[in-house]
Amino acid sequence: MSTGIKIHLNEHLFIRDPEDTGLGRDIIQTSVRMIDTLGFEQFTFKKLAHEMGSTEASIYRYFTNKHKLLVYLISWYWVWQEYQIEINIKNIGDTKKQLLKVLDIIANPTVDFTKNTQIDIEALYRIVISEASKSYLTKEVDELNKKGMYADYKRLCKKIADLILLLNPDYIYANALVSMLIETANQQAFFALHLPSLTNIKKNKDEKIDVSNFLSQILFAAIKK
């Protein structure tokens, strides 16, 4: 399915496009693994360079700093999600069923997808759960937003909001509802793992967390006429 797709991202996200070179792809691959295991705060370019057998200076030719690399990775994820959603709903006629599928993909992104050769999607999904909000929760947010760094996330939200408006054109909170649902998907997954008393979602038999029922209950209750 997603094997070999090339994801092109806003050029402000990097200095040199990491998709273009072996070293660039290695930076992405290795940083995903390392941020997943170390957490974003403990992750450094020095450790990354050491792990890759490269140098700090080489990495700085691709990304100005580790925060930009995080923004890049999260953006990559949203583009990948948009693609997954697109190919999975295009043959569904009913808008309500399309939305159910969308929520399922958002809540269970690593189920039922073909392995991507480049990026460890399961690790990236864990990064999204724990670190995604740090990509915008920064004093730089307005500056970065002006440069279009959150465009991929915003486009994904808009597409889903448009589906909602198809079902209920009078609903005035479509954008808020969508961003809430996406953020909630990751947040509740985090709570299920670390602060279980804040949620009702539990691991199922396969040790997986499925927030999609909660999300769809909220969504369809909210937009009911």
Partner DNA sequence: ATAATTAAAATAGTAATACTATCTTTACAA
Partner DNA sequence: TTGTAAAGATAGTATTACTATTTTAATTAT
Residue ranges that bind a copy of itself, judged by CB under 8 A: 38-39, 41-42, 130-131, 133-134, 136-139, 141-142, 145, 150, 153-154, 157-158, 172-180, 183-184, 187-188, 190-191, 194-195, 197-201, 214, 217-218, 221-222, 224
Look up residue 147 and give its DSSP letter: T
**CA-CA distances (angstroms) from residue 75 to 55, 133, 201?**
25, 12, 27
Q: How many helices (H) and strands (E) does the chain have?
A: 10, 0
The binder of DNA chosen from 1, 8, 46, 194 (CB under 7 A):
46
Nearest by Cα to 105 from 29, 181, 193, 5: 181
> Please, what is the minimum distance in Å from the beta carbon of residue 223 to a copy of itself?
8
Choosing among DNA, a copy of itself, none, which partner's interface includes residue 183 (Cβ < 5 to 8 Å by kind)?
a copy of itself
Provide, rounded to whole angstroms, the least separation between the CB of residue 33 and a copy of itself. 15
Q: Per rule CB under 7 A, is residue 21 in the interface with DNA?
A: yes
Binding-site member from 55, 117, 200, 213 for DNA (CB under 7 A): 55
**DSSP-derived secondary structure letter, 90:** T
Chain centre to alpha carbon of residue 109: 9
The answer to whether the beta carbons of residues 103 and 182 sit under 8 Å apart is no
44 binds, among DNA, a copy of itself, none (CB under 5 to 8 A by kind): DNA
If contact means CB under 5 to 8 A according to the sort of partner, which of a copy of itself, DNA, none does residue 158 touch?
A: a copy of itself
Binds 85, which of a copy of itself, DNA, none (CB < 5 to 8 A, cut-off by type)?
none
By beta-carbon proximity to a copy of itself, the closer residue of 18 and 79 is: 79
Residue 182 dihedral angles phi and psi, to the nearest 5°: -65, -45
In angstroms, the first-to-last Cα distance of the chain is 37
200-206: long-range contacts, CB 8 A cutoff, minimum separation 24 = none
**66-89 helix and 22-38 helix, angle to the nearest 10 degrees:** 100
Least Cβ distance, residue 119 to DNA (angstroms) = 18
Determine the Cα–Cα distance for residues 75 and 169; give it in Å rounded to an integer: 29
Least separation in angstroms between residue 68's CB and DNA is 8
Least separation in angstroms between CB 217 and DNA: 40
Instruction: Rule CB under 7 A: say whether 134 interacts with DNA.
Output: no
Q: What residue type is assigned to position 27 of the chain?
A: I
Partner interacting with residue 117 (select from DNA, a copy of itself, none; CB below 5-8 Å by kind): none
